[in-house]
């Protein structure tokens, strides 16, 4: 099957939950639907389907569920968090991989076929496409959590959970992203006659705005972890998964170090979780970029 045909079939599969009867994908879905375990034989249609779409597939455990969650996974990105959540929830899923352009670090255009913004993470679950990591976390926890990884509604912990779930992308990430961009302006290649001006502007923005903001956020999070073991309270929740990305980014490129021992202990604890390690195995090499 050619690349274009594959995309058409994939789009139909993701958006409407329908696939052509003649396609290998349809045959594989029927196999999974009937609960037949995927065989390892070279002529097995399910195997052919996986090869066609480049998925890592695990046979479905529940014969009643037709579709499997697909994580559209960009290397070195926030979608690692989604893999980790799925592992914590013990759900089965497929990983469809996308590689960043090594020069620009942007996602490849293939992701635009999944969602108009062309960013990762994005998941498809039957006829649903869900983008934006906070929304994905909420969707998966509500839909499949059975009360796990989120405090009960109406409790103070629930409000803290909601707060951290939104804070991670809404407040913590913007200064980290700005730091990434202005570091590149400061140090990236450009014509020699512009360089001194660009560098001076970048340094000014960083020292007057970005760095004070980062310090304030890191101090805030360090202090909050003095109140409870995890961000939402005594129990580990999906909010801890969501906040992991800004903290890992801060440790990688924004000066989070042993001077903030609670945040460093948090990172050590999450890295030791078996589900975190399994997610790394599924997702592949993971270097935080932005």
* Whether 78 contacts 98, CB under 8 Å: no
Among 18, 20, 66, 106, binds ligand GSH (CB under 6 A): 106
Among 70, 85, 95, 107, binds ligand GSH (CB under 6 A): 107
Give the range of 29-37, 41-49, 73-81, 153-161 binding ligand GSH by CB under 6 A. Answer: 73-81
Q: Does 222 bind ligand GSH (CB under 6 A)?
A: no
* Token code pair at residue 140: 């998966």
Q: Which of 222, 224, 229, 231 is nearest to 261 (CA)?
A: 222
Q: Does 120 bind ligand GSH (CB under 6 A)?
A: yes
Cα–Cα distance measured from residue 278 to residue 243, given in angstroms and rounded to the nearest whole number: 19
Smallest gap, in angstroms, from Cβ of residue 74 to ligand GSH? 5
For residues 213-237, one letter each, b for 16 or more C-beta atoms within 10 angstroms of the residue's C-beta and e for the rest, the string is bbeebbeebbebbeeeebbbbeebb
* Whether 266 contacts 242, CB under 8 Å: no
Window 160-199: contact mask with ligand GSH (x via CB under 6 A): ---------x------------------------------
Cβ closest to ligand GSH, residue 133 vs residue 237 = 133
Q: Does 119 bind ligand GSH (CB under 6 A)?
A: yes
* Whether 242 contacts 171, CB under 8 Å: no
Interface residues toward ligand GSH, by CB under 6 A: 74, 77-78, 106-107, 119-121, 132-133, 169
């Amino acid at each position: 099957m050619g690349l274009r045909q594959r995309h058409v079939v994939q789009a139909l599969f993701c958006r409407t939950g329908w696939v052509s009867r003649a396609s290998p994908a349809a045959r594989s879905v029927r196999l999974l639907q009937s609960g037949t375990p995927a065989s390892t034989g070279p002529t097995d249609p399910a195997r052919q389907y996986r090869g066609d779409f480049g998925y890592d597939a695990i046979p479905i455990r529940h014969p009643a569920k037709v579709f499997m969650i697909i994580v559209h996974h960009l290397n070195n990105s926030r979608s690692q968090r989604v893999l980790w959540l799925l592992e914590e929830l013990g759900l089965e899923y497929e990983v469809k991989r996308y590689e960043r352009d090594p020069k620009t670090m942007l996602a490849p255009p293939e992701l635009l076929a999944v969602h108009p913004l062309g960013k990762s993470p994005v998941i498809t679950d039957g006829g649903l496409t869900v983008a934006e990591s906070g929304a994905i976390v909420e969707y998966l926890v509500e839909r499949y959590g059975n009360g796990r990884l989120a405090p009960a509604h109406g409790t103070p912990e629930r409000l803290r959970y909601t707060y951290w779930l939104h804070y991670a992308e809404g407040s913590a990430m913007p200064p980290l992203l700005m730091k990434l961009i202005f570091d590149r302006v400061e140090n990236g290649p450009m014509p020699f006659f512009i360089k001194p001006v660009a560098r001076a502007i970048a340094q000014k923005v960083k020292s007057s705005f970005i760095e004070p903001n980062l310090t304030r956020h890191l101090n805030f999070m360090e202090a909050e972890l003095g109140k409870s073991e995890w961000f939402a309270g005594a129990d580990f929740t999906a909010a801890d998964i969501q906040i992991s990305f800004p903290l890992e980014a801060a440790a990688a490129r924004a000066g989070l170090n042993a001077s903030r021992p609670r945040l460093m202990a948090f990172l050590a604890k999450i890295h030791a979780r078996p589900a975190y390690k399994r997610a790394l195995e599924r997702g592949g090499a993971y270097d935080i970029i932005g």
